[in-house]
Protein backbone atom coordinates (compact mmCIF):
# COMPACT_ATOMS: atom_id res chain seq x y z
CA UNK A 1 0.00 0.00 0.00
CA UNK A 2 1.38 3.39 -1.01
CA UNK A 3 0.67 5.02 2.38
CA UNK A 4 2.70 2.33 4.17
CA UNK A 5 5.57 2.94 1.75
CA UNK A 6 5.45 6.69 2.38
CA UNK A 7 5.51 6.16 6.15
CA UNK A 8 8.43 3.71 5.88
CA UNK A 9 10.33 6.16 3.69
CA UNK A 10 9.62 8.95 6.17
CA UNK A 11 10.97 6.91 9.10
CA UNK A 12 14.17 6.30 7.17
CA UNK A 13 14.46 9.99 6.30
CA UNK A 14 14.00 11.10 9.93
CA UNK A 15 16.62 8.62 11.11
CA UNK A 16 19.14 10.11 8.70
CA UNK A 17 18.25 13.66 9.69
CA UNK A 18 18.66 12.89 13.38
CA UNK A 19 22.16 11.60 12.73
CA UNK A 20 23.09 14.86 11.00
CA UNK A 21 21.23 17.12 13.44
CA UNK A 22 20.15 15.55 16.76
CA UNK A 23 16.81 16.48 18.30
CA UNK A 24 18.61 18.31 21.13
CA UNK A 25 20.09 20.75 18.60
CA UNK A 26 16.68 21.38 17.02
CA UNK A 27 15.14 22.00 20.44
CA UNK A 28 17.87 24.51 21.24
CA UNK A 29 17.16 26.39 18.01
CA UNK A 30 13.45 26.45 18.80
CA UNK A 31 14.07 27.77 22.32
CA UNK A 32 15.97 30.69 20.84
CA UNK A 33 13.09 31.53 18.48
CA UNK A 34 10.27 32.11 20.97
CA UNK A 35 6.55 32.13 20.11
CA UNK A 36 4.02 34.93 19.78
CA UNK A 37 1.03 32.73 20.60
CA UNK A 38 -1.18 34.31 17.93
CA UNK A 39 -1.51 31.17 15.79
CA UNK A 40 -1.70 33.04 12.44
CA UNK A 41 -2.83 29.93 10.55
CA UNK A 42 -6.02 29.82 12.60
CA UNK A 43 -6.53 33.56 12.29
CA UNK A 44 -6.36 33.18 8.51
CA UNK A 45 -9.35 30.82 8.62
CA UNK A 46 -11.59 33.35 10.35
CA UNK A 47 -12.57 35.38 7.29
CA UNK A 48 -16.24 35.95 6.52
CA UNK A 49 -15.62 34.35 3.12
CA UNK A 50 -13.91 31.07 2.24
CA UNK A 51 -10.23 31.03 3.15
CA UNK A 52 -7.86 29.63 0.54
CA UNK A 53 -4.92 27.39 1.42
CA UNK A 54 -2.94 27.27 -1.82
CA UNK A 55 -0.45 24.49 -2.32
CA UNK A 56 3.04 24.52 -3.77
CA UNK A 57 3.41 20.97 -5.07
CA UNK A 58 5.71 19.48 -7.69
CA UNK A 59 4.35 15.91 -7.84
CA UNK A 60 2.12 13.33 -6.17
CA UNK A 61 1.84 9.52 -6.18
CA UNK A 62 -1.57 9.66 -7.85
CA UNK A 63 -0.79 12.23 -10.56
CA UNK A 64 2.95 11.88 -11.03
CA UNK A 65 4.87 14.99 -12.05
CA UNK A 66 2.55 18.00 -11.89
CA UNK A 67 5.04 20.79 -12.52
CA UNK A 68 8.28 20.04 -14.37
CA UNK A 69 9.18 23.72 -14.34
CA UNK A 70 8.92 24.42 -10.62
CA UNK A 71 9.81 28.00 -9.59
CA UNK A 72 8.45 27.37 -6.10
CA UNK A 73 9.26 30.78 -4.62
CA UNK A 74 7.68 32.56 -7.59
CA UNK A 75 4.57 30.38 -7.29
CA UNK A 76 4.24 31.25 -3.60
CA UNK A 77 4.66 34.94 -4.36
CA UNK A 78 1.95 34.72 -7.03
CA UNK A 79 -0.38 33.05 -4.54
CA UNK A 80 0.25 35.76 -1.98
CA UNK A 81 -0.31 38.55 -4.52
CA UNK A 82 -3.60 36.95 -5.58
CA UNK A 83 -4.83 36.86 -1.98
CA UNK A 84 -4.00 33.38 -0.67
CA UNK A 85 -4.76 33.21 3.04
CA UNK A 86 -2.28 30.38 3.67
CA UNK A 87 0.34 28.66 1.53
CA UNK A 88 0.85 24.91 1.90
CA UNK A 89 4.32 23.61 1.06
CA UNK A 90 5.05 19.93 0.37
CA UNK A 91 8.26 18.83 2.08
CA UNK A 92 8.03 15.04 1.49
CA UNK A 93 10.90 14.31 -0.95
CA UNK A 94 10.43 10.79 -2.33
CA UNK A 95 6.79 10.59 -3.41
CA UNK A 96 5.89 14.28 -3.72
CA UNK A 97 9.34 15.60 -4.70
CA UNK A 98 9.11 18.15 -1.91
CA UNK A 99 11.89 19.65 0.17
CA UNK A 100 12.40 21.38 3.50
CA UNK A 101 14.41 23.92 1.53
CA UNK A 102 11.26 24.96 -0.34
CA UNK A 103 9.55 25.85 2.92
CA UNK A 104 12.56 27.73 4.24
CA UNK A 105 13.00 29.81 1.09
CA UNK A 106 9.28 30.52 0.71
CA UNK A 107 9.18 31.70 4.33
CA UNK A 108 11.76 34.38 3.47
CA UNK A 109 9.74 35.52 0.44
CA UNK A 110 6.15 35.78 1.73
CA UNK A 111 4.35 37.02 4.83
CA UNK A 112 1.24 34.79 4.85
CA UNK A 113 1.10 31.75 7.18
CA UNK A 114 2.73 28.57 5.89
CA UNK A 115 1.52 24.99 6.38
CA UNK A 116 4.14 22.27 6.40
CA UNK A 117 2.56 19.46 4.36
CA UNK A 118 4.27 16.20 5.18
CA UNK A 119 3.67 12.81 6.78
CA UNK A 120 4.43 13.66 10.39
CA UNK A 121 5.13 10.57 12.47
CA UNK A 122 7.78 11.85 14.89
CA UNK A 123 8.14 14.89 17.20
CA UNK A 124 11.38 15.69 15.37
CA UNK A 125 9.38 16.86 12.35
CA UNK A 126 7.33 19.27 14.45
CA UNK A 127 10.42 20.93 15.91
CA UNK A 128 11.89 21.03 12.40
CA UNK A 129 8.73 22.69 11.05
CA UNK A 130 9.13 25.46 13.61
CA UNK A 131 12.78 26.01 12.67
CA UNK A 132 11.93 26.07 8.96
CA UNK A 133 9.39 28.85 9.48
CA UNK A 134 6.07 27.01 9.33
CA UNK A 135 2.98 28.43 11.02
CA UNK A 136 1.18 25.07 11.05
CA UNK A 137 1.73 21.35 10.58
CA UNK A 138 -0.41 18.64 9.04
CA UNK A 139 -1.31 15.75 11.36
CA UNK A 140 -2.92 12.82 9.54
CA UNK A 141 -5.21 10.61 11.62
CA UNK A 142 -4.68 7.64 9.28
CA UNK A 143 -1.01 7.31 10.24
CA UNK A 144 -1.16 8.25 13.94
CA UNK A 145 -2.47 6.58 17.07
CA UNK A 146 -4.81 8.52 19.35
CA UNK A 147 -1.95 8.93 21.82
CA UNK A 148 0.40 10.26 19.15
CA UNK A 149 -2.20 12.71 17.85
CA UNK A 150 -2.90 14.13 21.31
CA UNK A 151 0.82 14.38 22.09
CA UNK A 152 1.70 16.04 18.77
CA UNK A 153 -1.15 18.55 19.10
CA UNK A 154 0.17 19.58 22.52
CA UNK A 155 3.74 19.80 21.26
CA UNK A 156 2.76 21.94 18.28
CA UNK A 157 0.72 24.19 20.58
CA UNK A 158 3.68 24.66 22.90
CA UNK A 159 5.80 25.78 19.94
CA UNK A 160 3.18 28.25 18.71
CA UNK A 161 2.29 26.06 15.73
CA UNK A 162 -1.26 25.33 14.66
CA UNK A 163 -2.25 21.83 13.57
CA UNK A 164 -4.44 20.94 10.62
CA UNK A 165 -5.74 17.54 11.69
CA UNK A 166 -6.66 15.52 8.62
CA UNK A 167 -9.51 13.00 8.62
CA UNK A 168 -11.28 10.98 5.93
CA UNK A 169 -13.87 8.97 7.87
CA UNK A 170 -16.38 9.53 10.65
CA UNK A 171 -14.12 7.62 13.04
CA UNK A 172 -11.16 9.83 12.21
CA UNK A 173 -13.22 13.00 12.68
CA UNK A 174 -14.21 11.75 16.15
CA UNK A 175 -10.56 10.92 16.85
CA UNK A 176 -9.54 14.47 15.89
CA UNK A 177 -12.25 16.03 18.06
CA UNK A 178 -11.45 13.89 21.10
CA UNK A 179 -7.78 14.85 20.78
CA UNK A 180 -8.70 18.53 20.94
CA UNK A 181 -8.18 19.59 17.32
CA UNK A 182 -9.04 23.24 16.67
CA UNK A 183 -8.83 22.82 12.88
CA UNK A 184 -10.02 19.69 11.07
CA UNK A 185 -9.35 19.08 7.40
CA UNK A 186 -11.46 16.44 5.69
CA UNK A 187 -9.54 14.92 2.81
CA UNK A 188 -11.75 13.85 -0.08
CA UNK A 189 -8.93 11.53 -1.12
CA UNK A 190 -8.79 8.08 0.42
CA UNK A 191 -5.12 7.66 1.33
CA UNK A 192 -5.39 3.88 0.99
CA UNK A 193 -6.70 3.86 -2.59
CA UNK A 194 -5.89 7.50 -3.53
CA UNK A 195 -9.39 7.73 -5.05
CA UNK A 196 -11.22 11.06 -4.65
CA UNK A 197 -14.88 11.58 -3.73
CA UNK A 198 -15.70 15.28 -3.45
CA UNK A 199 -18.84 14.57 -1.41
CA UNK A 200 -16.80 13.21 1.52
CA UNK A 201 -16.24 16.65 3.02
CA UNK A 202 -19.93 17.50 2.59
CA UNK A 203 -21.11 14.30 4.29
CA UNK A 204 -18.86 14.73 7.33
CA UNK A 205 -19.45 18.46 7.86
CA UNK A 206 -22.24 18.02 10.43
CA UNK A 207 -19.94 16.05 12.75
CA UNK A 208 -17.72 19.05 13.45
CA UNK A 209 -19.01 21.73 15.86
CA UNK A 210 -18.95 25.39 14.79
CA UNK A 211 -16.13 26.35 17.16
CA UNK A 212 -13.77 24.00 15.26
CA UNK A 213 -12.58 25.32 11.89
CA UNK A 214 -13.43 23.02 8.98
CA UNK A 215 -11.23 22.72 5.89
CA UNK A 216 -12.02 20.75 2.71
CA UNK A 217 -9.08 19.11 0.95
CA UNK A 218 -8.54 17.48 -2.47
CA UNK A 219 -10.62 17.26 -5.63
CA UNK A 220 -11.70 20.91 -5.62
CA UNK A 221 -11.67 22.17 -9.20
CA UNK A 222 -14.33 24.81 -9.88
CA UNK A 223 -16.60 27.55 -8.61
CA UNK A 224 -19.65 25.29 -8.32
CA UNK A 225 -17.85 23.09 -5.82
CA UNK A 226 -16.66 26.13 -3.89
CA UNK A 227 -20.26 27.39 -3.71
CA UNK A 228 -21.38 24.02 -2.31
CA UNK A 229 -18.67 24.10 0.31
CA UNK A 230 -19.46 27.65 1.30
CA UNK A 231 -23.17 26.88 1.64
CA UNK A 232 -22.52 24.02 4.07
CA UNK A 233 -20.33 26.10 6.35
CA UNK A 234 -16.81 25.17 5.30
CA UNK A 235 -14.28 27.78 6.47
CA UNK A 236 -11.33 26.89 4.28
CA UNK A 237 -10.29 24.96 1.19
CA UNK A 238 -6.91 23.42 0.44
CA UNK A 239 -6.28 23.39 -3.30
CA UNK A 240 -3.17 22.01 -4.94
CA UNK A 241 -3.25 20.34 -8.33
CA UNK A 242 -5.87 22.60 -9.95
CA UNK A 243 -3.88 25.72 -9.10
CA UNK A 244 -0.52 24.13 -9.92
CA UNK A 245 -1.74 23.16 -13.41
CA UNK A 246 -3.27 26.58 -14.09
CA UNK A 247 -1.38 28.76 -16.56
CA UNK A 248 -2.56 31.85 -14.70
CA UNK A 249 -2.69 31.01 -11.01
CA UNK A 250 -3.29 34.60 -9.94
CA UNK A 251 -6.29 35.05 -12.24
CA UNK A 252 -7.88 31.76 -11.17
CA UNK A 253 -7.44 32.43 -7.46
CA UNK A 254 -8.69 36.00 -7.81
CA UNK A 255 -11.77 34.70 -9.64
CA UNK A 256 -12.49 32.15 -6.91
CA UNK A 257 -12.03 34.67 -4.12
CA UNK A 258 -14.63 36.93 -5.72
CA UNK A 259 -17.34 34.26 -5.99
List the catalytic residue out of 51, 88, 163, 218. 218
Q: Quick check: is 147 catalytic?
A: no
List the catalytic residue out of 166, 172, 188, 241. 166
User: Dihedral, CA atoms, 228, 232, 237, 243, nearest 10 degrees?
Assistant: 0
Q: Quick check: is 57 catalytic?
A: yes
Q: Quick check: is 100 catalytic?
A: no
The span from the CA of 33 to the CA of 96, in Å, is 29
What are the distances in angstroms from CA 158 to CA 33, 46, 151?
12, 22, 11
List the catalytic residue out of 55, 78, 92, 172. 55
List the catalytic residue out of 42, 187, 241, 249. 187
List the catalytic residue out of 42, 78, 128, 217. 217
List the catalytic residue out of 58, 100, 117, 130. 117
List the catalytic residue out of 42, 51, 57, 92. 57
Rg for the chain, CA atoms, rounded: 17
Q: Quick check: is 42 catalytic?
A: no
What are the distances in angstroms from CA 112 to CA 42, 77, 115, 140, 183?
12, 10, 10, 23, 18
CB burial class (10 A; 0-12, 13-18, 19+) of residue 130? Answer: buried
Phi, psi (5° rounding) for residue 167?
-130, 160
Q: Quick check: is 62 catalytic?
A: no
| H or E stretch at 65 | strand 64-65
- What residues are annotated to the active site? 55, 57, 117, 166, 187, 217-218
Amino acid sequence: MILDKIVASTKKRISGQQERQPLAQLREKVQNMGTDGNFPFEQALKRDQLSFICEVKKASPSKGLISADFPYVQIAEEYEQAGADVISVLTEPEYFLGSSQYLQEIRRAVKVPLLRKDFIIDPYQIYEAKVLGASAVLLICAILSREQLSSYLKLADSLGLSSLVEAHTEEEVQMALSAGARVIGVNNRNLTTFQVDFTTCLKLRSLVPPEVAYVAESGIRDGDQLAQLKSCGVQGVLIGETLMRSLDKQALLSEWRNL
